[in-house]
Amino acid sequence: MLTPLSLFDDWFHTRPSVYVISDSQLAEYKRNQAEAEIIELDKLIEGHEHSIERLKNTRTKLRDEYPALQPKPEE
């Protein structure tokens, strides 16, 4: 018979996995994780830099097309 609490039976009876590793293995794992994160961040930065260039090109084209929209010099 299915009861509201029986839905949680597997959750209560299943123990989480615990791994024991040496300090050097932990340091290597953290270094690998940091390296992977740096690679991903570099990819994001590169993508944003390309987006910035496209935006600047679009802005330049619009300013060339509509000179009245040039930024006013600050006084």
What global pTM score does this model have?
A: 0.58
CB 38 within 8 A of CB 46: no
CB 63 within 8 A of CB 70: yes
pLDDT at 55: 97
DSSP symbols for 11-73: HHHPPPP-----HHHHHHHHHHHHHHHHHHHHHHHHHHHHHHHHHHHHHHHHHHH-GGGSPPP
pLDDT at 57: 97
Measure the CA–CA gap between 15 and 50, rounded to whole angstroms: 47
3-54 tens-digit pLDDT: 666 666 666 666 778 889 999 999 999 999 999 999 999 999 999 999 999 9
